[in-house]
Amino acid sequence: MKKFFGEFKEFIMRGNVMDLAVAVIIGGAFTGIVNALCDNLISPLLGMFGGANFDYLYFEINGAVFKYGAFLTALINFIIIAFIIFLLVKAVNKVMTIGKKKEEEEEEETEKDCPYCFTKIHIDATRCPNCTSKLDE
């Protein structure tokens, strides 16, 4: 039993699991903000053009109430959340790509290839540490 809890603790303490937990918490808070935006601003605006607020649209069949307006509101919320997450992921990928390019540029500036053994060496080296060949300036 001790081994089981030890493995569970190791699993929980992994970085990616902790990152996922933080993302779920932030996602829940973000969902609340988007729901408030949709319920208080977007749905009434759409209701002005459609003649009624989507939340209150429904129909009945044999006493069963189908609230399709609430479904439409949830669908609009989902589309807004998905669009904002798409924009955030796109922005993060752009920042990561720019950072990666800068790192690659720095690497290229600090290293060169030895013309004799073709290994990477420091750009200021006058002798290759691998094959000990003297390098021309």
Can you tell me the distance from the alpha carbon of 77 to that of 100, in angstroms, rounded to the nearest whole number?
A: 34
pLDDT tens for each residue of 25-77: 888 888 888 778 777 887 777 667 765 567 778 899 999 989 888 888 778 77
The whole-number pLDDT of residue 108 equals 56
Q: What dotted CATH number matches 2-122?
A: 1.10.1200.120
Condensed to tens digits (0 to 9), the pLDDT of residues 81-109 reads: 788 778 887 888 888 787 666 666 655 56
d(CA 49, CA 36): 20
When the pLDDT of each residue in the chain is averaged and rounded to a whole number, the result is: 79
State pTM to two decimals. Answer: 0.46
pLDDT tens digit sequence for 8-32: 777 767 667 777 777 888 888 888 8
Distance between CA atoms of 65 and 45, rounded to whole angstroms? 25
Cα three-residue angle 15-20-21, rounded to 5 degrees: 100
Q: Identify how many contiguous H helices and E strands the chain contains and give both numbers.
A: 4, 4
Residues in the chain: 137
Q: In what helix (H) or strand (E) does residue 59 lie, and over which residues does it extend? A: strand 59-61
Contacts of 17 (CB under 8 A, 6+ apart): 11
Please give the Cα distance from 38 to 45 (Å, whole number): 9
To which residue do tokens 């809890």 refer?
5
- Domain positions in the chain are 2-122
